Amino acid sequence: MDERVFKVKVGVPIPEWDSRHRLPIAGFVGPECKDSGTIFRINSTYMDVSEQPHMMRQWLAGGILTAIAFSIIFFWFFVFVVFFSPQKLREGGHVFFAIQLAVSAIGFAYFSFKFGRDEIFSLTRRPIRFNRVEKKIYAVRRRKFFSAAVDGDVIWEVPWSENTIFCVHSGRKNSADEDTYHIRCYELDAKGNVIRGFAIGREWDELDGMNDLLCQWNYWCWYMNEGPSELPQPLLFLSEHEGFFESFLYCMYEVSFGLAASLRIFLLPFFAWMAIHRILALWTCRPPVWPKNVERVSLVEKDDPFLQPTGGTPVGWAQTSQAHRTNSYPSDPRRKIPDWTGIKDGFKNAKQWQAEVAPRNH
């Protein structure tokens, strides 16, 4: 459920399910704290986190590239029918066929532009920066083409405070997406209607996913409220310079982290095909440019003891998987929440959050 396609609805109240699953910034929501593969970099000042579509962008890229191909094909047939066909436009059925081709070409072109402007010729990543010093979140939203070097790309800024609403968002009810979840940030006007919103991190599936989502929220809250000193290592540091093999692993792990080796081999052509879509889209994009005002409040000391990734720290799925095999990087780093007074079993706690009304939201 790509948030660039299923956008936040502006001008209306927060969806009821979301409002009944609000996430507190002052406390924890589960018995454990861990990252699930959302972090690009971390230090004493800020932490750069992925946006929700980052891990699954190959799907939109594949759809956009297919739409572009169909638009070109229909346009080519339209030109042939109008200008090079022996019959040209002498018959009524011939005219109707030419109109159909033109409408199809325009329709696919419109689809390509509407959904592709944040994927093709856009940004290689749209990080969301948690700045614990400023107590603010800076989210890269869109590429600027002509003034980025001076002004930076389009950034949304929200305070890390109770006035900013963070919720669990679920997929569409009675659909295949019903048991998918991600974390959304909403800004509201004085009447309680949504001004804008964006999704943070990644998408999680079913009960296991809800448990990981709550662990993830605990991780971000711990960083913003307590700092990085006692946080477990992230699952991995996402690569800021993604190559083909890294794209291939995104496509494989997005389907399932625990896929059997036989299934991975069987689906190898599919993963490679999706990786081609992802890498073709990335080749048209450039890295994001932070505005100077964000850079000024994101200064990091050279000897910052919490600056990561650095040195021998593995970056990306490939390096981290290799580090797991050599036991040089933990495979499932996590930590218990101290003084947690809720349900001790993380899955039972997650089951309550899957209900129509989450704990603490009654």
Tens of pLDDT along 39-58?
999 999 999 999 999 998 99
Q: Please tell me the least confidently modeled range out of 26-30, 44-48, 212-216.
A: 26-30
β-strand pairing of 46-49 with 154-159:
unpaired
pLDDT score, position 256: 72
- Are residues 231 and 96 part of one domain? no
pLDDT score, position 93: 60
- Are residues 210 and 76 part of one domain? no
At a CB cut-off of 8 Å and minimum separation 6, what does 43 contact? 228, 300, 304, 306, 307, 308
Does 152 fall in a domain?
yes
- Are residues 82 and 21 part of one domain? no
pLDDT score, position 223: 96
Domain around 103: 62-116
- Overall domain count for the chain: 2
pLDDT score, position 8: 84
pLDDT score, position 92: 57
Q: What is the rounded average pLDDT of the residues 159-179?
A: 83
Cα separation, 76 vs 267, whole angstroms: 34
Does 212 fall in a domain?
yes
User: Which residues in 128-268 belong to E strands, given as ranges?
Assistant: 128-131, 136-142, 154-159, 165-170, 180-188, 194-205
Q: What is the rounded average pLDDT of the residues 303-310?
A: 92
Q: What is the rounded average pLDDT of the residues 121-132?
A: 95
- Are residues 103 and 192 part of one domain? no
| Buried-exposed string 241-274: b where 16+ CB fall within 10 A, e elsewhere | ebeeebbbbbbbbbeeeeeeeeeeeebeeebeeb
Q: What is the rounded average pLDDT of the residues 124-137?
A: 96
Residue with tokens 């073709």: 280
pLDDT score, position 9: 85
Does 269 fall in a domain?
no
Does 264 fall in a domain?
no
- Are residues 193 and 316 part of one domain? yes
What would the pLDDT profile of 311-329 be if each residue is shown by its tens digit? 889 999 989 988 988 889 9
pLDDT score, position 82: 75
Cα separation, 6 vs 107, whole angstroms: 19
Q: Is the per-residue pLDDT at 172 higher than 80? A: no
